[in-house]
Structure 1
């Protein structure tokens, strides 16, 4: 019976419900609904429900987006599901599809441990035999050689920035440090048996690394190269740790490191001897030093330090006086001369100016001088 041949009947009360003219209660009719298509053929696995293909494609496209399509409010999409997985163990076999994992706090689990890289292994049994590894994504390598017996086996450690397969390109020596000693090597040296150590080398920035036999007499050497993801630098480990001899001989050089030259102006204040208890007072010095013929080489420089020294065959007192206006003077520093073994009497004052004008002075002791010199200098730095 076609679906469109059913006639709806009103519910007239108990025993009066009918389908297609049959009374369900009095005529013992058991109803079964059979769905047919427009041709009267039953709907089954061989004749499924007709589908509007265009409508189905439109529905699927509503949930997909073309690359670089701009976002629009109200876009449809399929929710991305993830699995809560408290344990850090796999939920799929190697090569299977799997779901994103969430922890007990609802956070997406991501890689927080270093990447795992498989070791590269191989045998070298002849000169120029090699074992190479693409190290563009790692930072360090550990190397180990083991063998039953070899003779004259010597390998170089080499790196390349332009090799594409571990054989072509240009190669250069790479330093490696022994695992059991502070020994830096660019080659293994002649080996006749398995060494009691391995090597570590930094390959930061390299594309390829290889171990290449530069000499080999007999036997076969097995090599393992294990990549490591952490960026460490093994070469500082090769710095010597024992006490080292120190060369105490000074090095002579015409270059004086750290030597700075400052502008300065020198005044020969006096060389006239003084009578007993007599005094000398020098001329006023303007520490801006801007007067013609007395200016610093750099006109913008003023004296940052003022120095004065006096020497005589008799003791006395050296002093300096300062002034703000070049009229009223104040004595601010004085120092008695000291006897110099094998010489006379000497005194020196070093002063950081805070007032514009400065002058020097000296008071002789109780004995007439037979020699006397006093001089000063304004330093630009």
Structure 2
């Protein structure tokens, strides 16, 4: 392993599902009347794809060593991320030992500070970082979870994000999270419609099943506070990402004003330890939800998690399948995980990154045994049925 040196980095683009899970065909629940920051414009209210949520596509990062070892990862970012990886980030990897992960992360981040810090640049860095961990696992013939401290439990429990919490309960999940459909532009009528749907779902699942609202950055403090307080009678467990990611002051106010026992959660669109430090030091939330494919990769997520642990905050990553499972099973402050229901009608369990990965494990009865993660690296392979397009080279 001491002589394993990175020889080549490649970045390719894939369309149609995968890491860019919003890139779905017509009729999928994930694109059906979900409240967004663009919902204030009627023309963009019905479909998230109408304002371009799926324009980026998936980027696939592949890394090879001079000895023939191979690692890869996928995330959102498409062609712009591929350009950044090929034309800028690759120089900090090629010729390095596969064990130099911390050094490579630091150089990628600092070299892109003048145009990066978050967003698509951090997506690109995250994809590279995940591919590096997969590569190191292939070299060592160890699963990623074993290399970051080892599992602290025998299985992972999941809640389901989708349009049908009632079906999720039947499948064994511990809770169901629904996307809010109405925002401030719909006023009191929107709050009433959300409460009616929540009440119907509570009647369907009973008192002990978790129900949560995912607001996808689309509300303001006033509307979110009214919705949270009105939803308390239906046992809403948490209200998620109610405000724009940069409104730390609004989140702090919302957390102070929601009913006692209801959690405020956010962080899906936050990045790096510095962004999450603001969330925690300003007491903006009870639970953070970094996406390991967007926040800076596994290397950064480990630092974010340690910071959260010191602040008494839970860490439940946003989606991201195997890339978060290996993390969750090693952290005491990550007691459960999210599973995105990628079946169009949210009526069955399918791999999150369908149709991109081979060997992608899925929960059975809402649980995943850690033994399912015991293959080298992240334990998955690229499907032979997908078409990779490499738009840039270096």
- TM-score surpassing 0.5? no
Range class of TM-score, shorter chain = under 0.3
TM-score, length of structure 2 as denominator length: 0.16
Structure number with the bigger relative contact order (C-alpha 8 A, sep ≥ 6) is: 2
Larger radius of gyration: 1
The structure in which a higher percent of residues are strand is 1
TM-score, length of structure 1 as denominator length: 0.16
The structure in which a higher percent of residues are helix is 2
